[in-house]
């Protein structure tokens, strides 16, 4: 039997400038306080590591990530404050992780084989891109647990319309990959046997791009999505000019 305590919370594999972060503690890969800290540490290091151009986040198997560790939270109900301090610290740490992931200057890709639920869906939605297998499922189950997925809905609402996210959050229903694709929650559904190969090839292609314009472009896109049209062009135009003046493009020959 495998000793789970000896497994890393987050596996790290760097190949061809692509860093794959594999969530540990299978099968649920829960976002315990320790898991959040380990994932955030790996992300922070990757953001400043020149060897890393692209990040892939993977929770292998039937559960991409089950969200927060409810058993861990339950244990803190015995605290003098019934766990309020722990829960407050937990959700502050989770929000900080998700903010850094959403603002990461390098492309981030989620690879989803199974269910992404609650904060696990928040993790997926905070990545730039998400690719899923036909068996993938998506859920905001807070209401069924007597609460509401308030913070996961922040990330999800940046991707899908208000009616769709309200239905997800209010009903706690589980949605399939086809629905998620139509709603804009994921980029593409890929067969199980080609999912990893497709994500790997895409990540390597992005890693081989001129990184300056790519990173500036992603950051600008993220910023202008919420701006009025005129303000968006005012923001994007100087960046576009900067792309053409980038040393990596300045001597390109477009006449051929």
Same domain, 198 and 217: no
Report whether 110 contacts 124 (CB < 8 A): yes
Work out the average pLDDT over 89-106.
Answer: 97
pLDDT on residue 1: 40
pLDDT at residue 249 is higher than 80: no
Same domain, 135 and 195: yes
In a domain, 255, yes or no: no
Same domain, 34 and 103: yes
From CA 247, how far away is CA 111, in angstroms rounded?
Answer: 33
pLDDT-based confidence at 246, cuts 50/70/90?
Answer: confident
- Following DSSP, what letter does each residue of 182-234 receive, concatenated? HHTSSSEE--HHHHHHHHHHHHHHHHTS-HHHHHHHHHHHHHHTTS-HHHHHH
CATH number of the domain at 241, please: 1.10.287.2460
In a domain, 226, yes or no: yes
What is the model's pTM?
A: 0.93
pLDDT on residue 255: 52
| 15-24, 55-64, 211-220: range with lowest mean pLDDT | 211-220
Helix axes 162-171, 150-157, angle to 10 degrees: 150
CATH number of the domain at 152, please: 3.90.226.10
Q: Pairing relation of β-strands 115-117 and 188-189? A: unpaired
Q: 235 lies in which domain range?
A: 211-245
Q: Which residues contact 256 (CB under 8 A, 6 or more apart)?
A: none
Cα→Cα distances 118→122, 125, 138, 171, 253, Å:
6, 11, 9, 13, 49
Same domain, 94 and 217: no
In a domain, 122, yes or no: yes
129-149, pLDDT tens digit by residue?
A: 999 999 999 999 999 989 999
77-94, pLDDT tens digit by residue?
A: 999 999 999 999 999 999
pLDDT-based confidence at 236, cuts 50/70/90?
Answer: very high
Say what percent of the chain tops pLDDT 70: 95
Report whether 14 contacts 50 (CB < 8 A): no
pLDDT at residue 33 is higher than 50: yes
**What's the mean pLDDT when you consider all of the chain?**
94
How many domains are there within the chain?
Answer: 2
């Amino acid at each position: 039997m495998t000793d789970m305590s000896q497994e890393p919370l987050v596996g790290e594999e760097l190949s061809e400038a692509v860093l794959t972060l594999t969530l540990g503690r299978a099968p649920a890969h829960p976002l315990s306080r320790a898991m959040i800290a380990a994932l955030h540490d790996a992300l922070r290091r990757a953001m400043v590591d020149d060897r890393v151009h692209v990040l892939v986040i993977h929770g292998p198997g039937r559960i991409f990530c089950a969200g927060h560790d409810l058993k861990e939270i339950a244990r803190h109900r015995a605290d003098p404050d019934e766990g309020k301090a722990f829960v407050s610290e937990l959700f502050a740490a989770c929000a900080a992780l998700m903010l850094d992931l959403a603002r990461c200057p390098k492309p981030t890709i989620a690879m989803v084989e199974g269910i992404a639920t609650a904060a696990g869906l928040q993790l997926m939605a905070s990545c730039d891109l998400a690719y899923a297998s036909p068996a993938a499922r998506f859920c905001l189950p807070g209401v069924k647990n007597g609460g509401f997925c308030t913070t996961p809905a922040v990330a999800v609402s940046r991707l899908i319309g208000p009616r769709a996210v309200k239905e997800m959050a209010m009903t706690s229903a589980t949605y399939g990959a086809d629905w998620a694709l139509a709603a804009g929650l994921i980029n593409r559904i890929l067969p199980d046997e080609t999912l990893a190969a497709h994500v790997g090839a895409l990540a390597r292609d992005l890693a081989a791009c001129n990184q300056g314009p790519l990173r500036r472009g992603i950051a600008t896109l993220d910023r202008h999505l919420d701006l009025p049209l005129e303000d968006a062009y005012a923001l994007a135009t100087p960046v576009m000019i900067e792309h053409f003046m980038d040393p990596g493009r300045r001597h390109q020959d477009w006449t051929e």
